[in-house]
């Protein structure tokens, strides 16, 4: 079963090969959840919980547990990156997108597992969660859209890539407020997409020093391409044979 729908402004591919009795229903639940997450947590929708909170319209005791979880994750990463990753850049509204994407797609993958799926692959705008591998996950070449720069062999887990080619000017270093320089792309493989996506985004926001930062995070394997087209990766990065 393969379904592709566009949610949150990016394409989401859900492929279920084995395990779920009703894969179509499981996919329905996945897309329903992602639409709900978009409606609730998008800073671009004026009536989302995030926008209302940012305008001071949500009383402190009415913030949903989900949003508190997201805000707590955001704060974790802000502190862990010493301010490079910040959802509250000066002069801009609250924007927890970088955490919301990975977090909500991981929860979507958890829905598939809960529906019994044992072999599946979710790709949400280039962020990947797989289960029941072997899966071969390519990483887009930072300069040639139709090429790969490496391939991972994964049984279970998540892969996220932050790159200049599509978000260069959208990732700002919270310490300077300026677009990040130094890296062309940075890929993180981890057990969950919550971790992989936020770590990739946060590390990218730190520039070249983000490579070592991400590499030292427990459970994260890193593949980075710097502006000099040099690859730096962790030894444990699961490169396919």
96-125 residues in contact with other proteins (CB under 8 A) are 121, 123, 125
Q: Is 218 in the site for other proteins (CB under 8 A)?
A: yes
Place of tokens 């929708």: 45
User: Phi, psi at residue 67, to the nearest 5°?
Assistant: -70, -35
Unique residue bearing structure tokens 């040099």: 230
Q: Is 21 in the site for other proteins (CB under 8 A)?
A: no
Residue in 6, 231, 8 with CA at minimum distance from that of residue 139: 231
- As given in the structure block, the two tokens for residue 118 are 């044992």
- The secondary structure of residue 46, as a DSSP letter, is T
> Which member of 74, 117, 180, 183 binds other proteins (CB under 8 A)?
74
207 binds other proteins (CB under 8 A): no
Least distance from other proteins to the Cβ atom of residue 32, Å = 18
- Smallest gap from residue 65 Cβ to other proteins (A): 4
Q: How far is the CB of 195 from other proteins (least distance, A)?
A: 6
Give the number of other CB atoms < 10 A from CB of residue 170: 12
Q: Binding mask 78-97 vs other proteins (x if CB under 8 A, - otherwise)?
A: xxx-xx--x-xxxx--x---
25 binds other proteins (CB under 8 A): no
d(CA 223, CA 237): 7
CB closer to other proteins, 45 vs 175 = 175
Question: How many positions of this chain bind other proteins (CB under 8 A)?
Answer: 96
Task: Mark the segment that binds other proteins (CB under 8 A) among 31-39, 41-49, 110-118, 159-167.
Answer: 159-167
| 3-class secondary structure, 190 | strand
Q: How far is CA 14 from the centre of its chain?
A: 16
What does residue 82 show for φ and ψ, rounded to 5 degrees?
50, 40
CB closer to other proteins, 147 vs 178 = 147
């Amino acid at each position: 079963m393969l379904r592709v729908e566009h949610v949150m402004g990016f394409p989401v591919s859900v492929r279920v090969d084995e395990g779920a009795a009703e894969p179509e229903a499981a996919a329905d639940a996945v897309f329903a959840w992602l639409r709900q997450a978009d409606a609730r947590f998008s800073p671009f929708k004026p009536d989302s919980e995030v926008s209302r909170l940012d305008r001071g319209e949500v009383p402190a005791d009415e913030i949903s547990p989900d949003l508190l979880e997201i805000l707590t994750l955001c704060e974790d990463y802000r502190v862990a990156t010493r301010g490079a990753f910040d959802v509250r850049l000066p002069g801009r509204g609250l924007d927890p997108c970088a955490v919301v994407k990975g977090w909500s797609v991981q929860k979507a993958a958890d829905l598939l597992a809960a529906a019994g799926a044992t072999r599946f692959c979710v790709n949400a705008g280039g962020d990947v969660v797989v289960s029941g591998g072997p899966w071969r996950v390519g990483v887009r070449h930072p300069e040639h859209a139709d090429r790969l720069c490496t391939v991972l062999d994964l049984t279970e887990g998540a892969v996220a890539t932050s790159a200049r080619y599509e978000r260069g000017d959208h990732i700002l270093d919270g310490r300077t407020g300026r677009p990040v320089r130094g890296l062309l792309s940075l890929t993180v493989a981890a057990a969950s997409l919550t971790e992989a996506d936020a770590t990739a985004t946060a590390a990218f926001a730190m520039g070249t020093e983000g490579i070592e930062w991400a590499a030292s995070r427990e459970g994260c394997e890193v593949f980075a391409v710097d502006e000099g087209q040099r690859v730096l990766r962790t030894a444990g990065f699961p490169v396919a044979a």
